[in-house]
Structure formats: C-alpha cells, structure tokens
Amino acid sequence: MTTPIDLTVRFLAKPGQEEALAQALAVLVPPTRAEDGCLRFEAVRGTEAPAQFLLIERWAGQAPLAAHGSQPHLQAFVAQHPALLAAPPEAVFWQPL
C-alpha cells in the first residue's frame, strides 16, 4: 500500500499583487481536485498577513504528485510566478506522528 504524501506550499505575494495571486490560486483548485490521486487540495490566505498564501495538499502517493507537476493548469500557474511572487514558493513535506 502506498503512503499518502502531505505537503504545504507557502507563497508571498508581491506588494499590489495579493488579489491577483488569490485569483490565480483559486483557479488552480478545481482542476487539481479532479486529478487522479488528489486527496486534498486547499488554498488559504493569512488572516493577519494577507500577502501570505498556503496550499495544503494530500496525494495518494508519489506518482500522482509527480503527474500533478506536469498538468497544464499547474504549468500555467507556475508561468505567472515572476509577476506575482515576492519570493520563491516554500514547499514542506509532512509525515504523521
């Protein structure tokens, strides 16, 4: 049995690009949730730091996560990074205790 993979990806919007990043992340959610092996995919925004965004993800295994990286909707989002982000995204993988 394959162990699920949990990860978070943190984004920091450039000043003035907060709403554009929020929209870009919102567009990413429905097609990602429809991917095979996607168990959880949520985009959230900091309540006290509105320029910070977080993707909370759970994948059924490494293969679905790897396939996600080549999806057209994700590639379109990545192409927007230079215009929207103040810093590179920070991905962190998690494991249950």
Sheet holding 52-59, edge to edge: 38-45, 52-59, 5-12, 90-94
For residue 92, give every residue at least 6 positions away whose Cβ sits within 8 Å of its Cβ, in sequence order, or none: 7, 8, 9, 10
> What domains are defined for the chain?
5-49+71-94 (3.30.70.100)
One digit per residue, pLDDT tens: the chain, 97 residues?
678 999 999 999 999 999 999 999 999 999 999 999 999 999 999 999 999 999 999 999 999 999 999 999 999 999 999 999 999 999 999 988 8
Residue 48 is encoded by which pair of tokens?
């006290």
Q: Residue 1 has what pLDDT?
A: 66
Q: Residue 41 has what pLDDT?
A: 98
Residue spans of beta strands (DSSP E) within the chain: 5-12, 38-45, 52-59, 90-94
* Secondary structure class of 89 (helix, strand, coil): coil
Q: Residue 96 has what pLDDT?
A: 83
